């Protein structure tokens, strides 16, 4: 895989918003929402882009503070699915959670997104609940998952 990761910057927003819309449709985050997230980086947020041949092909974000972290988002362009980009991004977020001293990592994923759920399970995330009507405007349910880190920087 020739993809490299780097920290997301405001200069990436136009391309990331386009990717966000292509992956998440009507539930995509807006430019303003993403800009607000980046304004909290690095204090409580950590956002990365996966860059390949001059193009952003994926991105991911983490909220990490106070011993707990949340995978806020992971998105990979459909044309690049199956190339390990999602795994690479997720591994980087888990590592950052460990560096921040977090002992747990949480996330929400659509209950109808088996592909993403499989990815998270491969990394040790387990189901801990359901959030009914979590995704808007569709009203789709979210599966809540958790990964327990045995000590900073390591998965259990």
Measured at the CA of 60, the angle between CA 15 and CA 155, to 5 degrees, comes to 165
- Please tell me the distance from the alpha carbon of residue 103 to that of residue 94, in angstroms, as a whole number: 10
Whole-number percent of the chain with pLDDT over 90:
88
Q: What pLDDT sits at residue 150?
A: 74
Cis preceding linkage at 42, omega within 30: yes
Whether residue 137 has pLDDT greater than 60: yes
User: What sign does the dihedral 70-49-10-30 (CA atoms) show?
Assistant: negative
H helical segments located in 1-156: 13-24, 31-39, 85-99, 114-122
17-22: long-range contacts at Cβ-Cβ below 8 A with a sequence spacing of 24 or more? 19/56, 19/57, 19/58, 19/59, 19/75, 19/77, 20/75, 22/77, 22/78
Whether residue 1 has pLDDT greater than 80: no
The structure's pTM equals 0.92
Q: What pLDDT sits at residue 152?
A: 45
Tens of pLDDT, residue by residue over 98-120, are 999 999 999 999 999 999 999 99
pLDDT bin (cut points 50, 70, 90) of residue 2 is confident
- Please tell me the distance from the alpha carbon of residue 27 to that of residue 136, in angstroms, as a whole number: 6
What the chain holds in terms of domains, given with CATH numbers, is 4-155 (3.40.630.30)
Whether residue 41 has pLDDT greater than 70: yes
Mean pLDDT value across residues 76-81? 95
């Amino acid at each position: 895989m020739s993809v490299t990761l780097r920290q997301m910057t405001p200069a990436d927003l136009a391309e990331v918003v386009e990717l966000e819309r292509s992956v998440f449709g009507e539930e995509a985050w807006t430019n303003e929402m993403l800009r607000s997230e980046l304004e909290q980086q690095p204090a409580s947020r950590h956002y990365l882009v996966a860059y390949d041949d001059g193009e952003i092909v994926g991105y991911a974000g983490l909220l990490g503070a106070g011993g707990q972290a949340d995978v806020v988002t992971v998105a990979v362009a459909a044309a690049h699915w199956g190339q390990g980009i999602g795994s690479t991004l997720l591994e980087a977020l888990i590592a950052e959670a460990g560096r921040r001293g977090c002992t747990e990592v949480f996330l929400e994923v659509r209950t109808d997104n088996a592909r993403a759920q499989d990815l998270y399970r491969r990394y040790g995330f387990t189901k801990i609940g359901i959030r009914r009507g979590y995704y808007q405007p569709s009203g789709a349910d979210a599966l809540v998952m958790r990964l327990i880190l045995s000590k900073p920087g390591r998965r259990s």
